[in-house]
Structure 1
Amino acid sequence: MDNLCNVTTGKVRFSYVHLYKPYAYQQGQEEKYQATVLVPKSDVDTKARIDAAIEAAKLKGTAEKWNGVCPPIVSNPVYDGDGVRPSDGMAFGPECKGHWVFTASAKADYPPEIVDSMGNPIINQSEVYSGMYGRVNVTFFPYMFGGKKGIGCGLGPVQKLEDGEALGGSAPKASAVFGTGVQPTDGVGTGRVNPITGLPW
């Protein structure tokens, strides 16, 4: 049953990436490794396998957690990025448009393996960020917490496939802020400008 609940995605984009250090969004919450996964709606295969894994997790929950009864509405961890966030009714960010969205997490004592496209561990943490593209292995599982029954998503190994435009929260690159160091040309002489007067040398 556990294998049926496990999915390795196709190429996805990552957001809210906390893969090297456990993180809690609110004080007092349990800190976890986590990432939000954006699955393109064009990737019908990955979505079908996710749906099947969630159904398998419901069967597991009915057998092992929910006293033999599957509730009529089970909290589902996968959301429509073209819709609104269930927590506050606000629209998802623009990066979520055209995607299925879910967050996968792992407890602080289960750090995920993070590898590059060749399968080698990524040591340089700056290479792993919100906005990059890759694949991820996740496991959907049933839970019962505070009387609420639902399906959660456990975070497994992450593979970075390629870079993407960094999503909010990251510092801008120096070249974007200051330019590339090439002095603006003015069409006169060498094109060099006196930094004090602003006039051509």
Structure 2
Amino acid sequence: MRNTQVVLENVRLSYVHLTKPYAAQPGQDEKYSVTILLPKTDTAGKAKLDAAIEAAKDWGREKKWGGQVPPICPTPIHDGDGVKQDGTEFGPECKGMWVMTASSKADQPVEVVDRNLNRILDPTQIYSGMYANVCVNVYPYVYVAKKGIGFGLGPVQKTADGESFGGGAPTAASVFSAMGGGENTQGTAAPRINPLTGQPM
């Protein structure tokens, strides 16, 4: 049994698609997925991840890649202080973080539990910005002649709430003002107005 499975502890989650599968582009396979933000200060977590990657490379050399590890072997880990492949900067939440995406096939739902291992049934409790422990399965792949390392997504344990990325939906009180009239606190209705005359009906 190779040590290609690792649990990353108390990481922040972004681009959370854990309640139903999602495809970023039309025509792509829908998957359950999440972007993991691992603080660079968590050197122990990064070391565990690096060890799992090396184990996956050994597995790939023996079973997938014809006896050789590619000289350039891409992994899903990116430097949040750097830039994306398209040259744009990562979001501010990625500063000081290792940024990586893990996914699971649409027919393999991800189990999401709370601190006491109870399954979270309320989808509003699962969102981008929360903190969690995440099980990642590191594996070698060959896809259309491309070779590299991928991250499979295992169970997720929510550990704490955090500020929602994107802010979420506004509250009614933050966008509306009290109008008065209508049904009052005593349960009696305000007079109805004739739309033609403007007089009470």
Shared fold per TM-score greater than 0.5? yes
Distance in 2 between residues matched to 1:152 and 1:27, nearest whole Å:
21
Is the contact made by 1:10 and 1:43 (CA closer than 8 Å) also made in structure 2? no
Q: 1:124 to 1:25 in 2, by over 3 A?
A: same
Alignment equivalent of 2:130, drawn from 125, 129, 132? 132
Rounded to whole Å, the distance in 2 between the matches of 1:175 and 1:56 is 53
Displacement, 1:175?
A: 4.9
What is the rounded CA distance, in whole Å, between the counterparts of 2:67 and 2:98 in structure 1? Answer: 30
Kept after mapping to 2: 8 A contact 1:37/1:102: yes
Deviations 1:132-175 (A, max 9, x none): 01110010100010111000000000011111110027323445
Q: Match for 1:116: what amino acid?
A: D
Residue in structure 2 matched with residue 42 of structure 1 by the alignment:
41
Residue 193 of structure 1 corresponds to: none
Residue 176 of structure 1 and its aligned partner are, at CA, apart by: 4.5
User: Aligned Cα RMSD in Å?
Assistant: 1.5
CA distance in 2, matches of 1:51, 1:141: 12
Measure, in 2, the Cα distance between the counterparts of 1:162 and 1:173: 22
Deviation, 1:29, is 0.1
Q: Partners of 1:178 and 1:163 in 2: how far apart?
A: 27
Aligned-partner Cα distance in 1 for 2:9–2:43: 10
Unaligned runs of 5+ in 2: 179-201
State the SS of the aligned residue for 1:60. Answer: helix
Secondary structure of the 1:8 match is strand
Question: Is 1:64 aligned with 2:72?
Answer: no
Give the gaps of 5 or more residues in structure 1: 182-201
Instruction: Quote the sequence identity (%).
Output: 57
1:170 aligns with 2:168: yes
**Corresponding position of 1:111:** 109
What is the rounded CA distance, in whole Å, between the counterparts of 2:45 and 2:61 in structure 1? 24
What is the letter of the counterpart of residue 44 of structure 1?
Answer: T
TM-score, reference length from structure 2? 0.85
Q: CA separation of 1:176/1:166 partners in 2, compared to 1, >3 Å: closer, same or farther?
A: farther
In 2, the alpha carbon distance for the partners of 1:176 and 1:104 equals: 35
Instruction: Provide the C-alpha distance between the structure 2 equivalents of 1:37 and 1:124, rounded to a whole number of angstroms.
Output: 21
SS in 2 for 1:54: helix
What is the identity, as a one-letter code, of the residue corresponding to 2:24? Y
Structure with higher Rg: it is 2
